[in-house]
Chain A
Amino acid sequence: MALALSRPVPRSHLSPGQLLVAGAIAAFLLLFLVVPVATVIYVAFTEKGTGAFTLVNFLDFARTDLFVRSFWNSVYVSGMSVVWASVFALPLAYLTTRFEFRGAALIQTLGFLPLIMPPFVGAVAMQLLFGRNGTVNLLLDDWFGVKVPFMDGLNGVIFVQSVHYFPFILINLSAALRNIDRSMEEAAQNLGSSGFRLFRRVVFPLALPGYLAGASLVFVKVFDDLATPLLLNVKDMLAPQAYLRVTSIGIADPMGYVIAVVLIVASILAMWASAAAMKGRDYATVQRGGGGLAKRRLKPWESALAYGIVGLILLLVLAPHIGLFLLSIATIWSFSPFPDAFTLAHYARVFGESSIYIKNTLIYATLAGLIDVVLGTAIAYLVLRTRLVGRHWLDWAATAALAIPGVVLGIGYLRTFYGVTLPGGTPLAALWIMVVLALAIRRLPYALRACYAALQQISVSLEEAAENLGATKTRTVRRVVVPLMTGGILAGFISSFSTAAVELSATLMLVQSNSDAPLAYGLYVFMQSPAGRGAGAALGIVAVLLVALSTFASHLVVERSQRAKGAAQ
């Protein structure tokens, strides 16, 4: 069976069009990713005073207790976040994919929501609910006289991060679980396996590639994220250290850039390790038995238990949203389990003052998403269907963007493009399109993976058939490949769009004026004053709803297109 299903063979010859596309992508990545990042991190390799090449700064890194401690704290927090994210994601993914579960689609959608939690407000809401004087602890103290340090130090970071990023595992794991042929499970049952043993010995190992893909993403994102630790006042982690150093006043010190290099290297290592672990474990194509998905029915008590678990997890992972919503309708919420009173005034203020943010966000995120899927599709095609020399470098470069902290990219853009002026005298970096490009580069890895997976599932013979009937390569791509990839492309667009809509770190450096600012920036501005807290929360809720609705709409489109395709086959 495995031998019969041979891997798609890359074509041997290249068309001029493909070369052109490859060249254009390479130029784009070079200009908007490699060069800006290089202008920032080269400082890490220069000697103080002379500017000569040196590695002494890295020696300083290794000799400084704070940095070493920060490094291990980051590793620990990232690792624990993966563990907790898995604890949240596993039951949701397993129950909704392998069982007949009413509301599975809703749960999957809700499970995606934490990813689109805008910065700042998530941690603020979590503090209000789980902080040392948050709702839960005040109630616990009242009833039992105890407090649980959910949010203290590294624990808080782990808690918030695992809630925030667990959808990466949920999405990847769910896809992998859906791919497991029912006969794989049935064969195990037939041989006497059931329940948790069945999951542990057969189902989970088969879904492992998907799980690893998600887990490595979580690890890298937590490793690179600086907003959450900073908001929780945890500074001895690597990403916050880099940020504090790079943006601190009067400090022309290379250590910030050294840390940025360490961050990039560590992230690339983590992704490489997960790729290495997955090598030869791509079971998706091996196990096509044609049996499709087995959805088991749950007994009533199992069902009750399952809904209980799912409900509990959803309550936990949606806590930031719940807290945020409460905050957005609260008058004063201070040292009390719940707000003193409720009001809709914050929403009135947001709609009165901030519709420009909403409009900008929609434009930026949509454009960034479009750029990403175009690039993603093109790179995936070049890598999977051509033998272009160096095509993997495109893939790697685009994926490496995942490991570039937003601040580094933002500063790099300022350095690279501020000197370049447009005819009107405006610097290139001041154009809002730079925000879009920065967002596009930051989210490209997500879209690329989705496009890659979509193309991988299309048999080469479908393209050969088109060519055999007289279609040129370009027309084949347009008429056969892209339509078949629609689902994957849309999935890529959704993930780019929805995460770009709430991205802050790169935009904070690049936004030049309020009228060009996206939502996340508006949130940041609101959250700087006591009276702005409620309005900021309201804007956060608007952002979440906006992204959730867009995502849901795209989901519907994907599903419809896939159903149409399924019917045709």
Chain B
Amino acid sequence: MAAPIPHPAPRTRAAGVRVEGVNLSYGTNHVLKDVNLEIRPGEFFAFLGPSGCGKTTLLRLIAGFNQADTGSVIVGGEDISGLPPWKRDVGMVFQSYALWPHMTVRRNVAFGLEERKLPRQEIEARVERALDLVGLRHLAERRPSQLSGGQQQRVAVARTVAVEPKVLLLDEPLSNLDAKMRVQVRRELRDLQQRLGITTIFVTHDQEEANTICDRIAVMSDGVVQQVGTPMELYERPANLFVANFLGTANILEGRIQGQGPDRIFNIEDGIVLPIPPDAVVPADAKLVFRPQDAALDRVETGAVPLPGTIAHREFLGSSVRYGIQIGGTEIVVDTPFQSGNVLHEPGRPITVSVSPRSALWLAS
């Protein structure tokens, strides 16, 4: 994929995907709960969530391998809910790649084109193009078992894009690769998607993968879409505790909200209270959430109230130092930038932590 492109990239018909009111149950197990999503044409979109959250089920539902109890899937304005998988024109790359061991790479890639009964010459040309696209033309006559994991993954992608589907579905495509390959291949995937301009849905449980290559992400948990947004939006303004916790590290402080109006306070523990900014929207059972880098040690941010704590432990991370700080019964983490010459705090030392109201989030559980 890093190779220069000798042929023009295949044209694709970018199409939007709409998921409307989808519910799916296996017996009593409600796997997808009223899922509504709008994926724009040409977008690189991720379904992100822990295993068992329903993201793969939703992807397979779009591909036609699962049937929704209610709701519909609309691709490019056409309701495809009733169509069998082979009539959907929705390309999928499987987690296991599902390369057919009895066919060579070339036969694998040609398969979908042959099923579409294209003229032989066109098939050949498009196979060549697809293989060039992933830089594997020289391995066309190999069998899948003779390829490395990364190469197999590329063949799987080539096989799917060769048919120029309206939408490309990627089911955990990087999970079978080692760490280094994963970084390289995800960049290549993004690059390919950009060149083809194809609407792509990417299923992953790895927030870093989603953040680095996707335009927008739907965070899912327990069959419910928790939040949809760009990686930055999700990080900056998580809609709930789950999203905050799942994307990046978050400190969560529990407490009781006491008082009314401008006098509202957040009582973490006896003697440890925070005033709540008057303009903050705070749900009744809210918790205080902030990122490790949004707190300051021994330095009171504007408008912030210092919380007393004790340094429990310390991790040196190179560009920063991460302190674990005991505040009452809770331990939080705080990152401070490190520059050479800085003096580090020693564990056991009492210290004050302040969180600026700007970066404090009040999220219901």
Instruction: Tell me whether A287 and B92 are in contact (CB under 8 A).
Output: no
B160 at the A/B interface (Cβ < 8 Å)?
yes
The interface residues of chain B lying within 8 Å CB-to-CB of A186 are: 63, 65, 85, 92, 94, 98
Please, which residues of chain A bring their CB within 8 A of the CB of B316?
none
Residues of A within 8 A of B159 (CB): 187, 191
Q: Does A193 contact B (CB under 8 A)?
A: yes
Known: A206-B102, A287-B101. Contact between A193 and B96, CB under 8 A?
no
Instruction: Check if B91 is an interface residue, CB within 8 A of chain A.
Output: yes
CB within 8 Å of B: which A130-174 residues: none
Instruction: Assess whether A503 is interfacial by the CB under 8 Å rule.
Output: no
Is A188 close to B, CB under 8 A?
A: yes
How many Å from the CB of A503 to the closest CB on chain B? 37
A205–B111 CA distance with the chains assembled, in angstroms: 14
Pick from B84, B103, B115, B145: contact of A286, CB under 8 Å? B145
Residue of A nearest to B149 (CB): A1
Residues in B with CB closer than 8 Å to A287 are: 96, 98, 101
Q: Per-position contact with A for B89-125: 1 when CB-CB < 8 Å, else 0?
A: 1111011111111110000000110011000000000
In the complex, what distance in Å separates the CA atom of A208 from the CA atom of B176?
A: 27
Give the Cβ gap from B312 to chain A, nearest Cβ, in Å.
37
In the bound complex, CA of A289 to CA of B160 (Å): 18
Chain B residues closer than 8 Å to A202, beta-carbon distance: 100
Chain A residues lying within 8 Å of B94, measured Cβ to Cβ, are: 183, 186-187, 289, 291
* A391 CA / B105 CA spacing, docked (Å): 36
Report A20 CB to chain B, min CB distance, Å. 38
How many A residues face the partner with a CB closer than 8 A? Answer: 31
Q: Is the interface of A mostly helix, strand, loop or mixed?
A: loop
> How many angstroms between the C-alpha atoms of A184 and B144 in the bound complex?
13
CB distance from A343 to the nearest CB of B (A): 52
Instruction: Tell yes or no: A192 within 8 A of B by CB.
Output: yes
Residue from A1, A184, A201, A206 within 8 A of B152 (CB atoms): A1
Which B residue's beta carbon lies closest to that of A202?
Answer: B100
A206-B102, A286-B101 are known contacts. Are A191 and B163 too (CB-CB below 8 A)?
yes
Interface size class of B (residues with CB under 8 A): 35 or more
A201 contacts across to B, CB distance below 8 A: 111
A191 surroundings in chain B (CB, below 8 A): 86, 91, 111-112, 115, 159-160, 163
State in angstroms the CA–CA spacing of A16 and B15 once bound together.
Answer: 69
- Is B340 on the interface with A (CB-CB < 8 A)? no
- Is B319 part of the binding interface, using a Cβ–Cβ cutoff of 8 Å? no
Residues in B with CB closer than 8 Å to A198 are 86
Please tell me if the beta carbons of B96 and A3 are within 8 angstroms of each other in the complex: no
A197 at the interface (CB under 8 A from B): yes
- Whether A61 is near chain B, meaning CB under 8 Å from some CB there, is no
Interfacial chain A residues near B152, Cβ < 8 Å? 1-2
| In the complex, B148 has a CB within 8 A of chain A | yes
Q: Which residue of B lies closest to A190 (CB)?
A: B92
Write the nearest CB–CB distance from A448 to chain B, whole angstroms: 26
Chain A, residues 285-304, CB within 8 Å of chain B (1/0): the string is: 01111110000000000000
Quick one: which of A190, A193, A283, A291 has the most chain B CB within 10 A?
Answer: A190
CA of A193 to CA of B100, assembled, Å: 14
CB-CB contacts of B128-171 with A at 8 A, as 1s and 0s?
Answer: 00000000000000001111110010000001100100000000
Would you call A372 an interface residue if the criterion is a C-beta within 8 Å of the partner chain's C-beta atoms? no
Which of A2, A190, A192, A289 contacts B144 (CB under 8 A)?
A2
Pick from A192, A281, A289: contact of B115, CB below 8 A.
A192
Question: Min CB distance, B226 to chain A, in Å?
Answer: 26
Contact yes or no, B145 A194, CB < 8 A: no
B63: chain A residues within 8 A (beta carbon): 186, 190
**Do B86 and A194 have beta carbons less than 8 Å apart?**
yes
Query: By the criterion CB–CB under 8 Å, are A3 and B116 in contact?
Result: no
- Chain A hits for B88, CB < 8 A: 190
- Closest A-chain residue to B107, C-beta based? A201
Interchain CA distance A181-B101 in the complex, whole Å: 12
Set A4, A192, A206, A291: member contacting B100, Cβ < 8 A: A206
Residues of B within 8 A of A283 (CB): 101-102
Q: Which residue of B lies closest to A192 (CB)?
A: B115
Judge whether A189 is part of the interface by a CB distance below 8 angstroms. Answer: yes
Q: Chain A residue with minimal CB distance to B90?
A: A190
Contact A184-B111, Cβ < 8 Å, known A190-B85, A286-B145: no
User: Complex: how many Å from CA A4 to CA B150?
Assistant: 12
Q: Which chain A residues lie closer than 8 Å to B115 at the CB level?
A: 188, 191-193, 197
The answer to whether A189 and B86 have CB atoms under 8 Å apart is yes
Contact A192 B112 (CB under 8 A): yes
Residue of A nearest to B67 (CB): A297
Distance of A287 Cα from B63 Cα, bound (Å) = 21
Closest to A198 in B: B86
Report yes or no: A205 in contact with B97, Cβ–Cβ below 8 A: no
Which residue of chain A lies nearest to B85 when distances are taken between CB atoms in the complex?
A189
| Seed contacts A193-B86, A289-B94; 16 additional CB < 8 Å A-B pairs | A181-B98, A183-B94, A183-B95, A186-B92, A187-B98, A190-B63, A190-B85, A191-B160, A194-B85, A205-B100, A281-B102, A283-B101, A287-B98, A287-B101, A291-B94, A291-B96
B residues at A contact (CB < 8 Å): 63-65, 84-92, 94-103, 111-112, 115-116, 144-149, 152, 159-160, 163, 176
A–B Cβ pairs within 8 angstroms, 24 of them: A1-B149, A1-B152, A2-B145, A2-B146, A2-B147, A183-B95, A184-B100, A186-B98, A187-B92, A187-B98, A187-B159, A188-B100, A189-B65, A190-B63, A190-B160, A192-B89, A192-B112, A193-B115, A194-B84, A205-B102, A281-B101, A283-B102, A287-B98, A291-B96
Q: Which 4 A-B residue pairs are closest in the complex by CB-CB distance? A: A289-B96, A191-B112, A183-B98, A187-B98
Give the B-binding residues of A (Cβ under 8 A). 1-4, 181, 183-184, 186-194, 197-198, 201-202, 205-206, 208, 281, 283, 286-291
